[in-house]
Amino acid sequence: MRNYGTSISLYDLVAESANKTRVSIDSYNQGAKDSSPELAQRIVNLATAYPNMPNELLVYAGLSGLEAEDDLALQLANRVQEKLYKKIHKI
């Protein structure tokens, strides 16, 4: 068997995997800590006011501080509606 000058031990692989898992858990915990009832309510308000908006866009809008009453939210919903119309009618 050839040796190409690389030496990777099982310990190194386990340590790397553990580090990736720890980083992932830390990221999840930070996200859970950062979410708040106000953010959840903002997203619910956006979803109620603009049901045609995709869920991903609702979350991004809520995270950016957009409220359902904002003009930008209405413009965004109108743009989504235009895109959906074009997609359905293949324009």
Tens digit of pLDDT for each residue in 34-80? 678 888 899 999 999 999 899 999 989 998 989 999 999 999 999 99
Residue 67 within any structural domain of the chain: yes
Q: Identify which has the larger pLDDT, 4 or 47.
A: 47
Q: Which pLDDT score, from 0 to 100, does residue 13 have?
A: 81
Residues listed for the chain: 91
Residue 2 within any structural domain of the chain: no
Residue 43 within any structural domain of the chain: yes
Residue 51 within any structural domain of the chain: yes
Does the predicted model carry a pTM greater than 0.85?
Answer: no
- Would you say 52 and 84 are in contact if contact means Cβ atoms under 8 Å apart? yes
Separation between Cα atoms, residue 91 and residue 32, nearest integer Å: 41
Domain range holding 62? 10-89
Q: Which of 6-10, 11-15, 52-56 has the lowest mean pLDDT?
A: 6-10
